Amino acid sequence: MAQEDILKKIIAHSKEYGFIFQSSEIYDGLSAVYDYGQYGAELKNNIKRYWWDSMVRIHENIVGIDSAIFMHPTVWKASGHVGAFNDPLIDNKDSKKRYRADVLIEEHLAKIEAKIEKEVEKAAEKYGASFDEAQFRATNQRVIANQEKIDLIKKRFIKALEADNLAEVKNIIEDCEIVCPISGTKNWTDVRQFNLMFETKLGSVSDEANSIYLRPETAQGIFVNYLNVQKSGRMKIPFGIAQIGKAFRNEIVARQFIFRMREFEQMEMQFFVRPGEEIKWFEQWKETRLRWHKALGFNPKKYRYHNHDKLAHYANAATDIEFEFPMGFKEVEGIHSRTDFDLSQHQQYSGKKITYFDPELNESYVPYVIETSIGLDRMFLLILSSAYTEEDLTGEDGKTEQRVVLRIPPELAPVKLAILPLMRKDGLAEKATEILNELKYEVNCIYEEKDSIGKRYRRQDAIGTPYCITVDHETLENNTVTIRNRDTMEQERIPVDKVKQIVVEKTSMTNLLKKVN
Ligand code: ATP
């Protein structure tokens, strides 16, 4: 299936089964803003819990906070967002479509890189076990030429960005002969900077002094509370502060479903360390975070690190964890070594001393910071796109039918157990309700009595429910039920009292947390 088709299917599936709806849909929607439906909200809460527990609960030296979305406007001057939270934008004069200039160039580079990978793949197939990939990359003329092209464009692009030379960014787009995907032309406007923060007014007097911003990241809420948390929690370095919350960015281009939204959620953790020890911690967090992703059990080949070529002014090391989404490899999480930039800036702008007295070193310093920052909605898309599976099944009558199943890790599945009475009559509904009333305190259950059992199984597959139990006449006789596994579709007859044990054990978040630690 073509990759774009997968994304289209996921969007349609998300709507049909109550995961994600376009915001304000009855008014034709609001661009790049989405609402989570009944199963989406459950899945989102489970992702949050997985992140929160793996950060805050299992680390004695990490605590969590929940800071406000509105902050003093000077925060954003100190952080550099007022001056520099910009994206370079460019318009195509024919299609009137707007693009991020940096994204156009990155996509052009990705295309050249794809050519190299294809070449490598072809050779690997041809030479089989004797294939030496490193040697091939170093000697094949086409690979070398394409790699040189990439390096040259990258070098020019980084230099242009560093010098804030937007005319040169446009030259690069023209020299690379990048065309608008809609109009197919190279008729571009000049490149301009665009600040991504949303501005609003506080209180009833509408003047300049009352202008505030919707936060574009949650991290600053952590930095401005550094002293409060360190003192009230008697925290000792190294320690971390974590937070989950909404962030807002007036993105220039937001076309890939929940990958890039204008209102989204972040899960961020700032880890405060001794100056000079930041690279050691940076490496450690890189590994821990990748382990967190891989614990979910999706194809490990779909993850990779992408080190930043151009570091932000505040960073001395930065990497992204990228995942192969239906649109290709894209960032899902950033890990940044932010030096003492943020705390120093807030110290300067607020006039308050923000230092830590280190009793072991017997000295005071402004702590250095390692940040891990992941988009909750992007993580949601990662899970949906990995979990969505179409399978052809052959029935006993030899007919094939298709089932769509969301292979969401059971620990994160929105509903853990569906309780299905074979029919309403003969006391089966009452028995099923009795089981529901006992198990609903343990795991998220659903009760369904409409449609045939087969149809009800399919519906639960489409939601990603790992277990279904069917209550039938035999249940009334010997207190047993049939339990069905979503992934294997195997059914087994078990005593009702064993259901709780099986479902709780297989869906417990502890399974994941132990893999991360
Ligand atoms: P990108 O390069 O994709 O714009 P970024 O480098 O600006 O992302 P960060 O500022 O590092 O992103 O934010 C941390 C994380 O927040 C990202 O890894 C991503 O998962 C998430 N994120 C950022 N912007 C958005 C958005 N507009 N919609 C959804 N998630 C986002």
Give the Å distance between the CA of 367 and the centre of ligand 1.
25
Kindly state whether residues 176 and 116 are assigned to the same domain. yes
Atom number in ligand 1 closest to CA 216:
10
Kindly state whether residues 261 and 360 are assigned to the same domain. yes
Q: State the pLDDT at residue 208.
A: 61
Domain harbouring 371, CATH code: 3.30.930.10
Residue type, 509: M
Length of the chain: 517
In a domain, 202, yes or no: no
E strands of 220-282, at which residues? 239-248, 263-273
Whether the predicted model's global pTM rises above the 0.85 cut: yes
Give the Å distance between the CA of 152 and the centre of ligand 1.
26
Domain harbouring 484, CATH code: 3.40.50.800
Q: Which residues line ligand 1 (CB under 6 A)?
A: 217, 249, 251, 260-261, 264, 266, 331-334, 373-375, 377-378
Q: State the pLDDT at residue 3.
A: 67
Mutation probe of ligand 1 site: the residue of 195, 248, 259, 331 with most atoms within 8 A of C-beta: 331
Q: How far apart are the C-alpha atoms of 69 and 244, rounded to whole Å?
A: 11
- Write out 462-481 in H/E/C secondary structure: HHCCCEEEEECHHHHHHCEE
Give the Å distance between the CA of 176 and the centre of ligand 1.
26
**Paired residues of 99 in beta bridges:** 90
Kindly state whether residues 227 and 339 are assigned to the same domain. yes
Residue 71 Ramachandran class (φ > 0 left, ψ -120 to 50 alpha, else beta): beta
In a domain, 400, yes or no: no
Q: State the pLDDT at residue 209.
A: 64
The C-alpha R_g of the chain, in whole angstroms, comes to 26
Atom number in ligand 1 closest to CA 268:
14
Q: In a structure prediction context, what are the per-residue pLDDT tens digits for the chain, which is 517 residues long?
A: 666 688 999 999 999 999 999 999 999 999 999 999 999 999 999 999 999 999 999 999 999 999 999 999 999 999 999 988 888 999 999 998 989 999 999 999 999 999 999 999 999 998 888 889 999 999 999 999 999 999 999 999 988 888 889 999 999 999 999 999 999 999 999 999 888 999 998 876 656 667 899 999 999 999 999 999 999 999 999 999 999 999 999 988 777 899 999 999 999 999 999 999 999 999 999 999 999 999 999 999 999 999 987 788 788 999 999 999 998 999 999 999 999 999 999 999 999 999 999 999 999 999 999 999 999 999 999 999 999 999 998 877 888 889 999 999 999 999 999 999 999 999 999 999 999 999 999 999 999 999 999 999 999 999 999 999 999 999 999 999 999 999 999 999 999 999 999 999 999 999 999 999 8
Count structural domains, the chain.
3
Give the Å distance between the CA of 279 and the centre of ligand 1.
23
Q: How many CB atoms lie within 10 A of CB 43?
A: 26
Kindly state whether residues 326 and 436 are assigned to the same domain. no
Atom number in ligand 1 closest to CA 266:
16
Q: What range defines the domain where residue 166 resides?
A: 86-195
Closest C-alpha to ligand 1, atom 3: 331
Give the Å distance between the CA of 375 and the centre of ligand 1.
6
The token pair that represents 121 in the structure block: 């793949």
Strand, helix or coil for residue 123: helix
Q: How far is CA 516 from CA 141, 181, 207, 300, 513, in A?
A: 43, 41, 50, 15, 5
In a domain, 210, yes or no: no
Kindly state whether residues 244 and 350 are assigned to the same domain. yes
Closest C-alpha to ligand 1, atom 31: 375
Closest C-alpha to ligand 1, atom 23: 375
Q: How far apart are the C-alpha atoms of 257 and 377, rounded to whole Å?
A: 10
In a domain, 212, yes or no: no
Atom number in ligand 1 closest to CA 375:
20
Q: State the pLDDT at residue 1.
A: 65
Kindly state whether residues 122 and 268 are assigned to the same domain. no
Kindly state whether residues 348 and 224 are assigned to the same domain. yes
Give the Å distance between the CA of 376 and the centre of ligand 1.
10
Closest C-alpha to ligand 1, atom 24: 260
Closest C-alpha to ligand 1, atom 29: 260
Which residues, other chains included, contact 476 with Cβ-Cβ below 8 Å and sequence gap of 6+? 426, 427, 428, 431
Domain harbouring 157, CATH code: 3.30.40.230
Kindly state whether residues 270 and 366 are assigned to the same domain. yes
In a domain, 399, yes or no: no
E strands of 298-366, at which residues? 303-307, 317-325, 328-337, 356-358, 363-365
Check: CB of residue 448 under 8 Å from CB of residue 398.
Answer: no
Closest C-alpha to ligand 1, atom 11: 334
Mutation probe of ligand 1 site: the residue of 373, 380, 381 with most atoms within 8 A of C-beta: 373
Q: How far apart are the C-alpha atoms of 53 and 491, rounded to whole Å?
A: 33
